[in-house]
Structure 1
Amino acid sequence: MLKVLNTYDHDLSLRWALCGRLNSPYLYLRKFIIALEFSGSGYVWIPYSFIMIGINYTSVNEAMRYILLFTGLMFDVAVIGTAKWFVRRQRPIINHDDVLSIGPDKYSFPSGHTSRAVFLLFYFINTSFFQNIRGSVIISWLSTVVASRILLGRHYISDVLAGVLFGIFECAAVVRLTPFEYPGAKDQGAEPHSKTGYTKLVKKLSQMFQQEAKQAGKEKLLLTCATAAARHRIEAGYEVEEVCKYFDFVSVMTYDYHGSWEGKTGHNSPLYGMRNERKKFREWNIKGSMNVWVELGCPKEKLNIGLSAYGRAFSLLRDPGITNSKPMRKKKTSIGLKAGAAEAGKYTREAGVLSYYEICESIQKNPNNRVFWHREMSVPYVSSETLWIGYDNIRSVTLKMQFLKEHGYGGVIIWSLDLDDKTGEICNEGPFPIFNAAKNELLIVPDHLSNINKKCLDDNDTLSIEQLFSQSTTIKGINLSKIQDFLNFY
């Protein structure tokens, strides 16, 4: 039986090697098929992933994507090389000009190109690696890479089928190593049971914290989380009503709603949505996200709103309809314009992201970068002919804190202090303008600092770091002297 199958495999493979036989009428396609073959080669993807790790070393999330890709590719080399060394099946007799066959790769079984193509396919789709490229394009490309193995006469059909199985195994192994940000996020490699597993973890932690407090005779440690803002992430990853029983507070990361990964401009952290937004995006704003958490059963007083001391910056790919003087009538808004990630900032060094003080610099140094106010979303944005930035300033932060108080939410988190203008010398708005704007609207200053409290009521004044830490001060249970060293680090 095996002999019959082997003969059939041999004959059919030679028959389908349309660009491998020297007398084939399709030989003119050989150069094109070889180019496809090379596009799926480890000689391309291994150096590429290694170089991209170096380029993105300052961004942990970006670097990790390439580290996992590099790990998977090297795993493929090890697995396929070992299998070929043991089996040692010779290549088809019509295989020629195969300059990529070195070492164990001179053997035929299994097909390394196929296993690598399948691994890349599953990895790219499961991790949304190429977010601006349709999955159908990736599937078509990698399918032709697999087909090239037979068309060029490099492999037998059974080699390719085995390569498919090896590729699936490799991808399953590597994807399990992929760190996911949210439980239940299948596109990030999260297991289906991670939603219920997360609840069990939180419950267990809460019990351990209570037990530790009793044993130590101290106040229980706070159990908190920074969590998702999008409905599909929340519903897929959290048993909201249950986990909120155990958390002391839940900080919703109400930022990064939009970014360069979408291929168009969008605001980083809008307070409200726009009337004409697609249904999918109508809740992609602070009001919408907080409503989802409340709707699913989390008490308002446990929910914290997230603020960002940075903006998402875009390089416009076409005329945004904005002149140096005023918006053109034909373009009522610059939301949704085709765009890519703007050039990395001098200090943050991540494409598409600018700290608050870098945004201030860009406005000051280039008069074409004008600040506009989006009335519907209640947030500012910078726009010019080539640049678009969605960010927060003192005005929008103040409005968000007013919204927080009006709706009875618990508090606020800020990402992050090092992205704010520490000295106040760049934005000319005093030290830590984003932090101070939130504080001025929320914090109740103790009576013994009443003279400073009066200053806080003036919109034009803020607390300096020196004033804030001039004495050991506790505000709403937070010992400010404890975080002085942290702030001084920046």
Structure 2
Amino acid sequence: MPSPRVTRAANTGSANPNTKFEFMTLLTNRINASEPNSPRHRASDSPVHRKDSFSSGATSSQQQPLPEEDCMKLNPSFLGIAMSSLLAVDLWLTKKMGVCAKDGSSWGTARPMMKLIEISGHGIPWIAGTLYCLYKSDSSAGREVNLNLLFALLLDLILVGIVKGIVKRRRPTHNRMDMFATFSVDKYSFPSGHATRAAMVSRFMLKHLVLAVPVRILVMLWAILVCMSRVMLGRHNVSDVAFGFFMGHMQYSLIEYLWLSPYTLPLLFRM
């Protein structure tokens, strides 16, 4: 018969592994119960989490990295932010300067005068007047100047129409479409054809016509008033007029380069 000490030792030795395992399991359950939001509890006890982690792990290998252009859209560049800021300033300044856009505006009483200035910068009166002067001119120098002015006016219409058709920027919302002799492309705003014409014609007249000093000052004031009237009447944005004025100067330089003379068109100047 074995002694009680040996039996107790044997029983203790055989029960130790199970006792330790049960104790560790109980300790783990108590820790998870006391910390329900712990990462271990969420990973081990939540079947939904196990399912989501499995599905996300299965699909992560199939996902492609974002294209570079998409990353650029999510992180706008400094140039994009600057352009958006300039556009906001342009729209705000256009709204503030449209003081003659309607009869009830702050300068609504000056709207008829602004419309007369608008007509003075229209292309039809200038083309008709140039054709008349070309017909009545009896000198070769006069025909040369009038012919090149006519060429400049026609080139201006073509270039402005092309740019408007490409950009297709709408006119300001406070504009009234009561302009004189408009065409289909005139529903667009960028650039201002009046501004291009005023800049080009004023440079042309100051360069090729013999004018007194007061008349030269009036020509420059006329060009400035035509440009300002476009914004005050609400016809164009400030950027439309600014770009149109710059474009008009460039067009004049092109006319100077393509100048029509008796050497290029001898038959026309012999008439």
**TM score, norm. by length of structure 1:** 0.35
Offset from partner CA, 1:184-213 (integer Å, 9 cap, x none): xxxxxxxxxxxxxxxxxxxxxxxxxxxxxx
Q: Tell me the CA shift for residue 72 of structure 1.
A: 0.3
- Aligned twin of 2:157: 77
Distance 1:69 1:92 in 2: 31
Q: Tell me the CA shift for residue 132 of structure 1.
A: 7.7
Aligned residue-pair number: 180
Q: 1:53 aligns with which of 134, 140, 152?
A: 134
In the alignment, is the contact (CA less than 8 A) between 2:170 and 2:188 conserved in 1? yes
Task: Output the amino acid matched with 1:112.
Answer: G
In the alignment, is the contact (CA less than 8 A) between 2:202 and 2:223 conserved in 1? yes
Task: Output the amino acid matched with 2:132.
Answer: I
- Aligned twin of 2:9: none
- Aligned twin of 2:144: 64
Q: Does 1:137 align with 2:218?
A: yes
In the alignment, is the contact (CA less than 8 A) between 1:115 and 1:165 conserved in 2? yes
Distance 2:102 2:95 in 1: 8
Structure richer in strand, relative to its length: 1
Identical amino acids, percent of aligned pairs: 27
Higher radius of gyration, 1 or 2: 2
Contiguous gaps of at least 5 residues in structure 1: 182-490
- Aligned twin of 1:33: 114
- Aligned twin of 1:128: 209
Distance 2:100 2:240 in 1: 18
Distance 2:128 2:114 in 1: 22
Q: Does 1:164 align with 2:209?
A: no
Q: Does 1:12 align with 2:93?
A: yes
Structure richer in helix, relative to its length: 2
Matching of residues 208-219 of structure 1 within 5 Å: none
In the alignment, is the contact (CA less than 8 A) between 2:119 and 2:180 conserved in 1? no
Higher relative contact order (CA 8 A, sep 6+): 2
- Pairwise CA RMSD of aligned residues? 1.9
In the alignment, is the contact (CA less than 8 A) between 1:123 and 1:129 conserved in 2? no
Matching of residues 398-477 of structure 1 within 5 Å: none
Q: Tell me the CA shift for residue 137 of structure 1.
A: 1.1
- Aligned twin of 2:173: 93
Task: Provide runs of 4+ in structure 1 moved above 3 Å.
Answer: 129-133, 177-181
Q: Tell me the CA shift for residue 164 of structure 1.
A: 1.1
In the alignment, is the contact (CA less than 8 A) between 1:123 and 1:175 conserved in 2? no
Distance 2:261 2:207 in 1: 11
Task: Output the amino acid matched with 1:33.
Answer: M
Offset from partner CA, 1:249-306 (integer Å, 9 cap, x none): xxxxxxxxxxxxxxxxxxxxxxxxxxxxxxxxxxxxxxxxxxxxxxxxxxxxxxxxxx
In the alignment, is the contact (CA less than 8 A) between 2:103 and 2:109 conserved in 1? no
2:218 is paired with a residue whose SS is helix
CA separation of 1:131 and 1:72: change in aligned 2, threshold 3 A:
farther
CA separation of 1:7 and 1:35: change in aligned 2, threshold 3 A:
same
Distance 2:235 2:100 in 1: 10
Q: Tell me the CA shift for residue 94 of structure 1.
A: 1.1
In the alignment, is the contact (CA less than 8 A) between 2:195 and 2:227 conserved in 1? yes
Offset from partner CA, 1:21-62 (integer Å, 9 cap, x none): 443221000000100110111011011111211111x32111
Q: Tell me the CA shift for residue 169 of structure 1.
A: 0.8
Distance 2:253 2:175 in 1: 31
Q: Tell me the CA shift for residue 130 of structure 1.
A: 4.3
Offset from partner CA, 1:218-257 (integer Å, 9 cap, x none): xxxxxxxxxxxxxxxxxxxxxxxxxxxxxxxxxxxxxxxx
Matching of residues 316-327 of structure 1 within 5 Å: none
In the alignment, is the contact (CA less than 8 A) between 2:199 and 2:249 conserved in 1? yes
Q: Does 1:153 align with 2:230?
A: no
In the alignment, is the contact (CA less than 8 A) between 1:20 and 1:151 conserved in 2? yes
Task: Output the amino acid matched with 2:238.
Answer: I
Q: Tell me the CA shift for residue 155 of structure 1.
A: 0.1
